[in-house]
Amino acid sequence: QGYRRLWAGLRGLRLAFYRGPQEHEPLEVLDLGELVTVQAEDKALVLRLRGQEVTMKMETGETQEMWRGFSLTMTKMRMPRDLALLPGHNFQLLEALREERERRDTPRGVPRVPSCFFEVTRPEAERLLEQSAGRGNLLLRPGGHGQGVSVTTRQELDGTALLRHYRVKREARGYLIDVETPHRCSSLAEVVQFFVTRSKGGLQPLDPEYSSHL
């Protein structure tokens, strides 16, 4: 009694609540910069902020632990040592922490790499996309050829995972995508958009925002 079924998304210190996964305008936004404590209580998290207390009920204990981990990590800018998470979830949390550190350290007006860029190897990229099904199926990573970047994609075809890797070479005026007909882009954001457009939306960049159904 008193609970509403919502979707929530966390990016940095911004915790937003939505009516559904396709909504863009949040019903409410919490500033975790005001967070005092986080307590786990019977498949629920109690967030105590300055002047406000919010209880988030979870469907599973694992989901509860993920939200506790992300809330504390974004607030303290370090991973709690007492988290009981699977290796894949720890990896997601580390990547979210890395991306948030970069976001905070980047001066305004300075171009940034897309949020779907991850400091991972080729095998790690494949595992990350598999573990992150539903949040995107395309990511950028450091180029294994010593320069530029690489693009890794994962799509399901008749129940089989189809993984592809593409080289993107750094040039004086931008980037060159190594595909059948090489394509030039002026920025990494355009590189991502090229794959989204060419796949007619079948490929979507991996969203680093941790979100879940509450």
Higher pLDDT, 145 or 133: 133
- pLDDT of 97 reads 85
Q: Where are the domains of the chain?
A: 7-105, 122-210
Going from the C-alpha of 52 to that of each of 4, 15, 175, the distances in angstroms are 17, 14, 48
> If one looks up domain 122-210 in CATH, what number appears?
3.30.505.10
Say whether domain 7-105 belongs to CATH 3.40.605.10.
Answer: no
**Kind of pairing between the strands at 35-40 and 28-31:** unpaired
Asked whether residue 162 carries a pLDDT value surpassing 90, the answer given is yes
- pLDDT of 214 reads 47
Mean pLDDT of 74-90: 88
- pLDDT of 112 reads 67
First and final C-alpha spacing in the chain:
14
pTM for the structure as a whole: 0.54
Percent above pLDDT 90 for the chain: 45
44-73 pLDDT, tens digit each: 899 999 999 999 998 888 889 999 999 999
Asked whether residue 168 carries a pLDDT value surpassing 60, the answer given is yes
Per-residue confidence at 107, pLDDT binned at 50, 70, 90?
low
